[in-house]
Structure 1
Amino acid sequence: MTSLGGAEFAPLTKTYLNTASTGLLPLRTARALKNAAEDAAHGRTGPEYNFTALAAARSAFARIAEVPPARVAVGNSVATHAALIAASLPAGAEVLIADDDFSSLVNPFAVRTDLKLRSVPLERLAEAVGPQTGLVAVSAVQSADGRVADLAALRAAVDAQPRSGRSIRIVVDATQALGWLRLPPETYDYLLCGSYKWLMSPHGVSLLVVPEDVGDELLPLNSGWVAGEEPWNSCYGPIEELAHDARRFDERPAFVSYIAAEHSFALVGEIGTDRIGRYDLGLADRFRTGAEALGLRPVPAASPIVAVPGLGHAAARLKEAGVEASARAGNLRASFHLYNTETDVDRLLEVLSTL
């Protein structure tokens, strides 16, 4: 059976159902990565090429996120981007988070002991917003069990609050979402996205979407010479003129990873997020139905991440049988993407039926 990704991916020697941990690289991306490494080894690369590829990756990601490239900053990790936002908050500000959300998003706010961190169940996030709230930070899709945040309800709750001074900002971690789920830009202010999962890129590629009206709200604390309006004139001493758009928040990127990521982003754009999402959800629904027939109770979620509580110990047994899934928070977590097929789902169910 042919997957949605088809010939874009290498034939697998095992059943890989672990995109929520690490996405597989498309063959075009792997070739670009190999070529970039070969070029670097033989002196065939240079800064002009690096920046051209970086601009292409930024633009390709912006199309997936449905925002202008001028709102996109590049970097290396979600935690670093979250820390940049956390540093912008005034002392005493309340940060509202979902219980047990991913630590890379949450911890940069938690280590600022002068902030008021308040955690509530994901399903109560919108109703927990109040006049005292300064910022809400949430993953669009929960890593541990695949539950999807109601960002529309969250935006409505934030917009309903009386404004006196600084607006309540919504920070969304899209790492487990972009690539299969559209996130309307009007539902968030900041978007953070590690791209090595559903966007199938190498590690070291993380992007930050900033608000159109960010102004001086966010200090470019991590900026170096690449954040200058003219990077090659910004190499020594304080940068005289920072970039006029989100590029002023750029970290010095891992260029080789971005050279490769451009090709993964392009593939997602060619197939389309909506089409990928329908495909992924169809496979996940097939697994949920089969798991329930086996007497298991997967966490309800409209997500390609399917978690079965209390079955985390089965991940090791599955691996021995050639099925790659993961254990998270006591759950067995299987995740389905465009390189998977119904045969993969059925193989997972077959092995589970023997445990």
Structure 2
Amino acid sequence: MKISGSAFDDLARAEFTPTSTFLNTASNGLLPARAVTALHEAARLRAEGRPLTSLYEDVEACRAAYARLAGVPAGRVALGASVAAHTGLIAASLPAGAEVLTAEGDFTSVLNAFHVRGDLKVRTVPLERIAESVRPGTALVAVSAVQSADGRIADLPALREAARAHGARTYVDFSQSAGWLPMDAGAHDFSAAVSFKWLLGPHGAAFLVVPEDFGGLTPLLAGWVAGERPWESTYGPVAEYAHSARRFDLTHALFTFAGLRRSLDLIEELGVAAVHAHDVALADRFRAGLASLGHQPVPAPGSAIVSVPGLGSRQPRLSEAGIEVSDRAGNLRAAFHLYNTAAEVDRLLDALAG
């Protein structure tokens, strides 16, 4: 059963002990206490030379937990280290001359590999026009569900319908939304997300969701863990790849998955719907306070990320005062998550007013 209200707040307070007003989850999330404990325990296994069996169990638990959050079968989820690597795998699968449609100013990891190919037609349009810009001959549309720079939310249902109408595939980066915004990865051909932002895990893990038929991907980066029987695939070429998306797995960062398992447990305990309501309420409080100060943020209704033009230069001074936000292209970016409170929003507003 999901929790809310005071129970939600009590659990968040018990799990997180920041020493600052941390409003910077769009850069990296805080680690909950249970994840820190798991990381220590994993390190102790290595230090003491004990079997690592439980760490491999953590890997599969993370795959299953992310699949539940994404709304897809676990067999569609591959595990890697970064969104950039996942994008590279998708880029490598496209034929020369294929058109890839992207959004202006999107995060580098979701689009750079298509440019590096050199023989693809990469077309870039404003985020608000991406659905209407899909056309006959578009092979793939690659976009972040939520823009890192300013929190704008893509109209994914409209994009999916446009892609279907023109026979294009879709690739969505959920890195800035997984954990606070309800996710329907099954509506898209490919999607990815990192673990260390809103999912509250350590660095070093990223998820990739692929179609049941693998969407034409080749396991170019695969090693022994991608075999149907991994421990029989440790020498020589892999004789039989996993029959699931695990064929695209990269060697697992075991410590990372040990901590991430507990972070994902926390997200599921709280429930994404409750986290969403909490996060957006704080962001809306900040937007209202900005208006009273005469500041206009980048329009991003319904987002947990708020970006304020012209205030990015305030970031160093705010950090000195114990308030952590980001400077992105001259804009001050604040990102609100489950461990934040209304009092912290007000503290940031007071600092900006001063």
Indicate the TM-score class for this superposition, using the shorter chain for normalisation.
Answer: over 0.9
Asked whether 1:62 is paired with 2:67, we answer yes
2:13–2:339 contact (8 Å) kept in structure 1: no
Q: CA deviation at 1:186?
A: 4.2
Secondary structure, aligned partner of 1:160 = helix
| Paired position in structure 1 for 2:255 | 256
1:153 corresponds, among 155, 158, 166, to 158
Asked whether 1:140 is paired with 2:139, we answer no
Note the 1:1-355 alignment, pairs <5 A: 3=9, 5-46=11-52, 48-161=53-166, 167-214=167-214, 217-301=216-300, 302-354=302-354
Counterparts of 2:11 and 2:97 in 1: how far apart (Å)? 48
Moved over 4 A (4+): none
Amino acid corresponding to residue 350 of structure 1 in structure 2? D
Residue deviations 1:241-266 (CA, integer Å, cap 9, x gap): 10000000000011110111011111
Residue deviations 1:72-105 (CA, integer Å, cap 9, x gap): 0001011000000000000000000000100011
1:5–1:339 contact (8 Å) kept in structure 2: no
Secondary structure, aligned partner of 1:73 = strand
Q: Provide the TM-score with structure 2 as the length reference.
A: 0.96
Counterparts of 1:114 and 1:175 in 2: how far apart (Å)? 27
Counterparts of 1:339 and 1:289 in 2: how far apart (Å)? 20
Counterparts of 2:16 and 2:273 in 1: how far apart (Å)? 23
Secondary structure, aligned partner of 2:131 = helix
Q: CA deviation at 1:34?
A: 1.1
1:20–1:143 contact (8 Å) kept in structure 2: yes
Q: CA deviation at 1:6?
A: 2.5
Q: CA deviation at 1:45?
A: 3.5
1:4–1:339 contact (8 Å) kept in structure 2: no
Q: CA deviation at 1:281?
A: 0.1
Secondary structure, aligned partner of 2:213 = coil
Counterparts of 2:185 and 2:17 in 1: how far apart (Å)? 36
Q: Which has the higher helix share?
A: 2
Counterparts of 1:130 and 1:228 in 2: how far apart (Å)? 38
Amino acid corresponding to residue 175 of structure 1 in structure 2? S
2:150–2:307 contact (8 Å) kept in structure 1: yes
Counterparts of 2:11 and 2:315 in 1: how far apart (Å)? 25
| Paired position in structure 1 for 2:3 | none
Counterparts of 1:225 and 1:192 in 2: how far apart (Å)? 22
2:42–2:55 contact (8 Å) kept in structure 1: no
Q: CA deviation at 1:43?
A: 1.1
Residue deviations 1:133-156 (CA, integer Å, cap 9, x gap): 010000000000000000000011
Secondary structure, aligned partner of 2:117 = coil
Q: CA deviation at 1:160?
A: 1.6
Residue deviations 1:29-65 (CA, integer Å, cap 9, x gap): 111011111221111232x323211111111111111
| Paired position in structure 2 for 1:164 | none
CA RMSD of aligned residues (A): 1.3
Secondary structure, aligned partner of 1:313 = helix
Counterparts of 1:148 and 1:79 in 2: how far apart (Å)? 21
Q: Provide the TM-score with structure 1 as the length reference.
A: 0.95
**Structure 2 CA distance for partners of 1:70 and 1:8, relative to 1, 3 Å:** farther
Number of residue pairs matched by the alignment = 347
Q: Give unpaired runs (5+ residues) of structure 1.
A: 162-166
Residue deviations 1:198-244 (CA, integer Å, cap 9, x gap): 000000010100012326x0000010000000001101111111000
Residue deviations 1:117-170 (CA, integer Å, cap 9, x gap): 000000000010000201000000000000000000001111122xxxxx4110
1:75–1:253 contact (8 Å) kept in structure 2: yes
1:8–1:28 contact (8 Å) kept in structure 2: no
Secondary structure, aligned partner of 1:128 = coil
2:185–2:209 contact (8 Å) kept in structure 1: no
Q: Give unpaired runs (5+ residues) of structure 2.
A: 1-5
Counterparts of 1:4 and 1:133 in 2: how far apart (Å)? 49
Amino acid corresponding to residue 307 of structure 1 in structure 2? S
Counterparts of 1:66 and 1:266 in 2: how far apart (Å)? 16
